[in-house]
Structure 1
């Protein structure tokens, strides 16, 4: 005879529904999803400013590509919320607000059209990436721990893209921009 309090989750694992829905870990997980949902939406806006401020076409293109990718991340997060029977909601993320503000300061404090600005923008963008990598890495593990395998797969896909973007930004910096910035007066 089956226990009526147990329910099979979308991943096929049996969990105690009442316990799972109200667990502190699940509450934290949902809160963290709302936090990164806010962050991803804020990043879309910030990337516009960064693209406009960038000097080289290569960096402008990288920011444009990342903005398109970030829109996919938002959509993917909405799928994760749906898998968890949660409404996609934003929770204000002070960390990303601070990182974005720092990026805006980089734009104000560097010369327009300079390679120094591009080098600084890359570092600012990588700070965003590292925040996202840390967040998605943790979320993937929490989803796996709670048996939300489909959600974990979606989050893992985003994590991989964030890591790839970080690598690409490093590549841009190391192949030309940093050297050209060093030559500026």
Structure 2
């Protein structure tokens, strides 16, 4: 580790390196956890459009995992995630929503709310990672992370569109 820290001192903003790596591990774990959660959300959704959105995001999430592995590779590190406590809590809340609103006309609206909480966590996390990569001049990592950040924002917008296209109204 000492050699790694010595080498890291030569990059701009090297003080961010350990934080950057820790956040990358956290997000790799979070994305893997999310795969399981998205399957549950898709099964629980009543609207075809919402089911499709969850299934599409499942495929995107697989790509996010591959991109994160690419970020680790670009930094000559092995890709290892760690359990993300924030994602764990968000997915537990989503499970509670499914149980509480099963059969209720507000189920899909509640699922969108839970999914958007996940998206906002991911947007915040990837936003920080993009900033750290930029400050440390890890241009390949920055580009990969920005691509994922853009997809997370698109998913959040899609969920809002689905909610506004009738899911929230049919819940009232």
Shorter-chain TM-score: which interval? over 0.9
- Where in structure 2 are there 5+ consecutive unaligned residues? 1-5
Structure 1, 23-32 or 34-43: larger mean CA deviation: 23-32
The two structures have a TM-score, normalised by structure 2, of 0.92
Which structure has more helix as a fraction of its residues? Answer: 2
Q: Which string of whole-angstrom CA distances, capped at 9 and with x for unpartnered residues, describes residues 111-143 of structure 1?
A: 33x431100000000000000000000000000
* Residues 1:52 and 1:18: Cα distance change in structure 2 (over 3 Å): closer
Inter-partner Cα distance in structure 2 for 1:54 and 1:42: 19
Instruction: Give yes or no for the alignment of 1:139 onto 2:129.
Output: yes
Structure-1 residue corresponding to 2:161: 171
Q: What value does the CA root-mean-square deviation take over the aligned residues?
A: 1.3
What is the rounded CA distance, in whole Å, between the counterparts of 1:89 and 1:24 in structure 2? 21
Q: Which has the higher contact order (CA 8 A, sep 6+)?
A: 2
| Residue aligning to 1:87 | 78
* 1:154 corresponds to which of 124, 144, 150: 144
Name the structure 2 match of 1:104: 95
CA contact (8 A) 2:9 2:15 kept: no
Q: Once superposed, which parts of structure 1, at least 4 consecutive aligned residues long, lie more than 2 Å away? A: none
- 1:153-182 residue CA offsets vs partner (Å, 9 max, x unmatched): 000000000000000000000111000000
How far the C-alpha of 1:24 sits from its partner, in A, is: 3.9
In structure 2, what is the equivalent of residue 66 of structure 1?
A: 57
Q: Aligned pairs, how many?
A: 165
Q: Give me the TM-score of the superposition, normalised by structure 1.
A: 0.86
Rg: which structure is higher?
1
Q: Gaps spanning 5+ residues in structure 1: where?
A: 1-15
Counterpart residue number, 2:19: 28
Q: Secondary structure at the match of 2:82?
A: coil
| Alignment-derived partner of residue 110 in structure 2 | 120
